[in-house]
Structure 1
Amino acid sequence: MSLTPVGDRTPLGARTPITESELIVFGDAAAGHDGVLSDSSGSVVVKPCTTAEIEFYESAALHPTLAGYMPSYMGTLKLSSSGTVDEAVATLGAAAASSQPVGSIATSGTASNLSPNDPGPLRGKKLETGLSIVLGNIAAPFKKPNILDVKLGAQLWDDGASLQKRERLDKVAAETTSKSLGFRIAGMKVWQGVDKQNDPSVEATGYRVYDKFYGRKFSADNVIEGFKEFLFVPTAGVGDDLGRTVAGMFLKQVEGMQKTLEALESRMYSASVLFVYEGDGEALKKALEEEESRAPGTVQPGEDDRDGEGDDGPGKAYDAKLIDFAHATWTPGQGPDENALHGVRSTAKILRDLARM
């Protein structure tokens, strides 16, 4: 049950593997489906998926610029009904092979024994495909990750959707910012600071959790308030200056995503942009100072330039990735994905406004 890297095809057993460990319930999700797992280190995400999503991740290797805006793809796992790993069929992405060697991933328990770290009503129903995709955890390098899931598109269904599903999703789009702006806030987790851990409106972990219904209350006129809630958290040491700085950094990444999608012919129905930044104000300041001290131009937007784990220096300050490709395909001859781009451009405008506040 070894993972094999793309390229030299050397079994990862010949590399430095991490030890086998239990799979636990993934605690860093801001939205999405139930049933998402992680390893005990938190460095990987094991997510129920469709074969279409696997095919899209594998084909993204032919589009390296886009792949830079996607989580590291590490392969697939097939889980038994008891929650144990029956089979590991994997190809380790080259980016992951160079930064996070991963060996065998196994679970010594059943699904009923998984650690109860699930944040609750953030997620939809579990995908019952029997197959899971293994991805790098975007939130792993952060001390206190603040996480925002922005679902893209005014049309949220693909051509294979039933009439009933189309009508249901069209209704959601019409009643939210999905129709007008091409995106909606699908969920958030925001660290509120140590002093807020006893606040009844905050989780015991010190996070305020915004479920999938939170973003549905906004209109095009006031959705910027949701982004402010995410980016400006004075109780955690993230005041106006830091919040504006992070908004500007995210803007550069979203503009890079926009440029990339405008150059490709694809369709990504119900995909999201996942935003993560360091929610601990002091840690964020240190990470941003390190960003500024590095030579300009050494890292392009979308590149995962350092692990952020296991060293004594500042961690990562921010990151944004495109995620959720269960309904993504390549569409040669049909032009760019204007449905997703509508949401990307609208998100960029809001971040631009916040960076200039």
Structure 2
Amino acid sequence: MGGKKRIPSPDQLRDYNYAVAGHAGTLCDADGELFIKPCTQTEIDFYQAVETNGYRDFADIMPLYMGELQLTPADVPIQEALMGVIASDGNFKTTKEQIAATIAEVVDQTTWVPTQGKKIKTDKSVVLENATYGYKKANILDVKLGRRLWADDAPAEKKERFDVISSQTTHGKLGFRISGMRVYQGSEDESTLDEEGYKIYDKDFGRVTVNDENVVDAFRKFVFNKAAGIHKALGKAVCSAFVRDLQRIEDVLTSHETRMYSASLLFIFEGEGVSLDAAIEMNNEILDRQSAESYTCPPVSRSNMSLDSRMDSGIALEADDDYDFEADDEDDDELRLPQIYTLKLIDFAHANFTPGQGPDENILLGVRSLLRIFKEMAAEDD
């Protein structure tokens, strides 16, 4: 940050399809640092419950919550409505810090009513830190969790439809399904890549192509990619990093009493090998100059690139290619680590804390299955 922000115009705001799967209509701010997602009151309530009730460990596995944004009336273009937040004093707020400081002033108190299966119409959005911000070429994987996918208030038709999906996919046995993924240089056939060089796997990949027998191969497509410079050792390091975070998520979910339906895990890592190597080296260079306490995580092992200590994936480095560490010695509080990988629990439209009901074994089934798969990939022979 630190003066590098530009005031966004409506034309600078862009549509953002979050994690490839099922998040149409979301927006980012001009710099891509904030993620603005239309949502129901239930999702807002869950984020606020985590914030206000002191669930610090739970907050750590979720996207950083900035607050709620109340959309303006329909006659105002949505791009203009989302280009900033208007505070009560009439001043227009556009930077991340300003939005964080004033977002509470536009909280709407309207009670949400279940839609009984109809398409949700909402004027509410949740404002989050964009988990993909700071990556050069982010590989993104959205995995929907659970064997049961419907909440108690879902109509019978929806319950039946979701039960069919569960029985016909990896949901039934493994407790998860790949909703979609996006892999940089994920194919040697350039005709199958998009304009940015990504291979896109849509929702049909997880519903039709992936099954209990080939599911590990599907995850290998996400991680191991020679064409992008993600060689076997580097891919195994990424898998080991995800193993540690999956263990953390399992611990948190086991220690809390919740019920979540159709929540997902969002996996992200730097998908271009040269950039991934450079990010690891830059982390080490920075951490060599600063105390471990300043960054809350120890350096990555240079000897084997094993990511053998968990890194705080929410930390990003705002730096150009010609970043000068010497010039920024006086601004250490603005120096942030480059992105290597991120794993977050997302999508809380049907999520609640449920004291007295025990941990959510429905969602934990999927987390534990994913943990076994990533352990298997991390241990594969070179």
Structure 1 position 211, deviation (Å) = 0.5
Instruction: Give, in angstroms, the shift of residue 141 of structure 1.
Output: 1.3
Matches within 5 A, 1:308-327: 308-310=317-319, 312=323, 315-327=338-350
Alpha carbons of 1:20 and 1:199: their partners in 2 closer, same or farther (altered >3 Å)? Answer: closer
Structure 1: distance between partners of 2:311 and 2:9: 30
Residues 150 and 273, structure 1, Cα contact 8 Å, conserved in 2: yes
**Is 1:77 matched with 2:69?**
yes
Native 8 Å contact 1:68 1:303 kept in 2: no
Gapped regions of structure 2 (runs ≥ 5) = 88-94, 102-117, 298-308, 326-336
State the distance in 1 between where 2:39 and 2:153 align.
16
Residue type of the alignment partner of 1:324: D
Distance 1:47 1:278, change over 3 A: same
Residue equivalent to 2:257:
265
- Structure 1 residues 191 and 334: alpha-carbon distance in aligned structure 2, compared to 1, 3 A threshold: same
Counterpart residue type for residue 357 of structure 2: Q
What CA distance in whole angstroms lies between the structure 1 residues aligned with 2:128 and 2:139?
19
How far is the alpha carbon of 1:240 from its aligned partner? 1.0
Mapped pair 1:103 → 2:103 = no
Q: How far did residue 292 of structure 1 move?
A: 5.7
Output the amino acid matched with 2:7: T
2:151 aligns with 158
Structure that is richer in helix per residue: 2
Residues 258 and 358, structure 2, Cα contact 8 Å, conserved in 1? yes
Distance 1:254 1:164 in 2: 33
Asked whether the equivalents of residues 17 and 102 of structure 1 are also in contact (C-alpha less than 8 Å), the reply is: no
Taking structure 2 as the reference length, what is the TM-score of the superposition? 0.75
Does 1:250 pair with 2:273?
Answer: no
| Conserved 8 A contact 2:313-2:343 | no
Question: Matched residue of 1:40: which SS?
Answer: coil
Q: RMSD between aligned alpha carbons?
A: 2.9
**Structure 1, unpaired ranges of 5+:** 1-14, 91-98, 106-124
**How many residues were matched structurally?**
314
Q: Aligned partners of 1:89 and 1:179: how far apart in 2?
A: 47
What is the CA deviation profile of residues 147-201 of structure 1, one whole-angstrom value per residue up to 9, with x for unaligned ones? 00011000111111000000011111111001110001000011108x96x8111
**TM-score w.r.t. length of structure 1:** 0.80
TM-fit CA distance, 1:244: 0.7
**Does the alignment pair 1:19 with 2:7?**
yes
Matched residues, percent identical? 40
Q: Distance in 2 between matches of 1:321 and 1:304?
A: 9
- Quote how far apart the aligned CAs of 1:17 are: 7.7
Q: Distance in 1 between matches of 2:44 and 2:319?
A: 30
Instruction: Give deviations 1:10-67, integer Å, cap 9, x for gaps.
Output: xxxxx99863443320145321232111111111111110100001011112201010
CA change 1:16–1:334 in 2 (3 A) is farther
- Name the CA shift for 1:242/1:302 in 2 (closer, same or farther; >3 Å): closer
SS at match of 1:352: helix
SS in 2 for 1:200: helix
- Choose from 175, 179, 186 the match for 1:182: 175
Q: How far apart are residue 132 of structure 1 and its match?
A: 1.1
**1:307 corresponds to which letter in structure 2?**
A
Q: Aligned in 2, Cα 1:160/1:137: closer, same or farther, shift over 3 Å?
A: same
Query: Post-superposition shift, 1:305?
Result: 5.3
Give the Cα–Cα distance (whole angstroms) in 2 for the partners of residues 329 and 221 of structure 1. 33
